[in-house]
Amino acid sequence: MTFSLLDWLLLSLFLLSTLWLGLLGKRYVKGSDAFLVAGRSVGQYLGAISLVSTEIGIITYMYYAEMGAIYGFSAFLAGLVPAAVYLFLGSTGFIIKRFREMELVTIPEYFERRYGRGVRVLGGILMAIGGVLNFGVFPVIEATFLNIVTGIPREHLLWTMVFLMAAVLLYTALGGMVSVLLTNYFQYIVLVLAMLVITAWMLWGAGWTPAVESVSERLGEKGFNPFVHPDFGWNFLLWQVLIWLAVLTCWAPVAMRAFASESPEVSKKVFRWTGLIFLGRALLPMLWGILAIAYMKGAQGPAIEATPRMLAEVLPIGIKGLVVAGMLATGRL
């Protein structure tokens, strides 16, 4: 176990505070509109913070850090695309403005208005299946991160997964979107602080120059120029643009922020602010992966585990508890 008593106390305080805020939201729920879209009263800043928080999970950090570890600085291309798509949607209002004008509550509701009830039912079934499949991957990766950093034995991975899902389900089921917004605001503050701490400590542990040299030695030009890397290039760029256009307009957790906005114009501003903030969501974890590989000096092991293994080694007592709280502060556990 690499966690100290102080680390566990900090983490417990954060979890109890988050749970209390989530349950607090229950008293403000007066009907289905309040439960599902927070009464359509979300402003641009709270909306952007909530959207950024819900678009970040421990798995987000894990796979972006893995990309940095494998592809070096070329991986940054995959982080720039979603930010650019957010800015495009926020500037033009493409799809999201019309969704808000229609005062939708769910994406399948749009399918019924446009195509009929049968398509709505089919869309709902497909979205439910997609959510179930997510739960086959997300909790495993996120619990792995927590177990490595805290030192919890791998054989207890299942219990870590159960705890993560149960905590979120409890306050979301009781307070709906109001609870999500309240917890997202608090979580965002802890999350930003944790990201800054992680970046500073990893830069101190590995060093910028060794990281650049490590990428150069392993990958050469491919580690710096994505358009000469066989796994990236223009085809990858086009594919990513299309994927993110679909995700940011039709994926329920994102679309709900547009539905809950005060007005169609506010929904556009929410997406613009999110696009600006989104850069850090991808580029910093990719940098962590690059630094972790430099720190490990080519040590063997899955690339996806390089960052949590480095954090387990370099973070001191107290800071480690703050960082794990920050990772748990991600809106999509």
Per the structure, the complete domain to which residue 72 belongs is given by 5-328
Distances 241 to 41, 78, 91, 276, 289 between C-alpha atoms, Å: 30, 10, 16, 17, 24
- Cα–Cα nearest to 160, from 311, 151, 190: 151
282 in any annotated domain: yes
Amino acid identity of 142? E
Q: Where is pLDDT greater, at 76 or 280? A: 76
Is residue 101 in a domain? Answer: yes
In a domain, residue 257? The reply is: yes
* pLDDT tier for residue 17 given thresholds of 50, 70 and 90: confident
φ and ψ at residue 261, rounded to 5 degrees: -70, 155
pLDDT level of residue 40 (50, 70, 90 thresholds):
low
Share of the chain above pLDDT 70, in %: 76
Report the pLDDT value the prediction gives residue 333, as an integer from 0 to 100: 42
For residue 153, give Cα distances in angstroms to 5, 146, 147, 327: 17, 10, 7, 19
Which tens digits make up the pLDDT trace of 224-254?
999 999 999 899 999 999 999 998 888 877 8
3-state secondary structure at position 261: strand
Could you tell me if residue 298 is inside a domain? yes
- Please report the pLDDT score of residue 41 as a whole number: 60
Give residue-wise pLDDT tens across range 113-150. 889 989 988 888 887 787 777 666 666 777 777 777 77
Residue 158's domain is classified under what CATH number?
1.20.1730.10
**Residue 178 within a domain:** yes
Question: Does residue 59 fall inside a structural domain?
Answer: yes
How much is the pTM?
0.78
Q: Average per-residue pLDDT in the chain?
A: 80
Assigned domain for 275 exists: yes
Q: How many structural domains does the chain have?
A: 1
Q: Is 16 exposed, middle or buried (0-12, 13-18, 19+ CB in 10 A)?
A: exposed
Sequence-distant (≥ 6) Cβ neighbours of residue 252 within 8 angstroms: 106, 107, 127
Cβ(57)–Cβ(209) under 8 Å? no
Residue 333 maps to a domain: no
